[in-house]
Amino acid sequence: MTLSIDLTGKVAVVTGGSRGLGLAISEGLARAGATVAIASRKLDACNAVVQELAANGARASAHAFDAGHWSDCDRLFNEVNERWGGAQILVNNAGKSPLAPSSVETTEALFDKIIAINLRAVFRLCALFGAHMYERDGGAIVNISSTGSLRPDPTFAPYAAAKAGVNTLTETFAQEFAPKVRVNTVMPGPFHTDATQAWSRSEGFTRQASRVLPLGRAGDPPEIVGAVLYLVSELASFTTGACLAVDGGHRIGGRARSA
């Protein structure tokens, strides 16, 4: 086995792939040679990423996708099959963590939305793409969870519960689609993204990070890419059902908000 990652000839689907961690993952997969299907709610943003990747010699496609809708999962699966003949890699990255003032003030609609986006969509896409991979030549699925699934906080309880469910889905699908499809989880800790920088770059977080994160800072999106590339490549041929934390050592102790 060579210590290199070459995804030439592979088709990768990345949900939430037009911004933040998803954008970094999409760019990393493209650099490794994969054709990338970019899926997110804003089609214009997806098209902009496709143009960027194409300018660097990569093949890509844009797909409007709302993870809160079961039917969008089915449509994305069908579009990828029609455009590229299927996928060998799926990265379930789309997620959202809107906060309520308190648990008692969390509405049914907000709770259902958080579960739908962060958990239900992962289930449906894993089922669709995983079954298709299993019927053909196999593949790899990476679910993006959160270290919040291990260290929940009352301020984001529904989100943490949904991400804990993602960890469980990883283990169950790793069994269901074995041995042809490997399914793993990456659990980011605190990362700087356009959605989180209001708190991740705040003075308060910087002080906290210096106490509870051995690396003393939040991560930058490109720092998630190596973990994903490893898990979708043949370097991880004996790795399935695993949950890999990419969190600056957060799991060692202390508390800090997670991605």
Joined together, the tokens standing for residue 74 give: 């089915």
With DSSP H G I counted as helix, E B as strand and the rest as coil, what are the percentages for the chain, rounded to 5?
50, 15, 35
* 230 tagged catalytic: no
What does the alpha-carbon distance between residue 74 and residue 78 come to, in Å, rounded to a whole number? 6
How many residues are recorded in the chain?
259
Residue where the block lists tokens 């098209």: 47
Active-site position among 65, 159, 173, 191: 159
Q: HSE-up of 65 (CA within 13 Å, CB side)? A: 32
Place of tokens 């239900």: 120
d(CA 100, CA 171): 30
The catalytic residue positions are 159
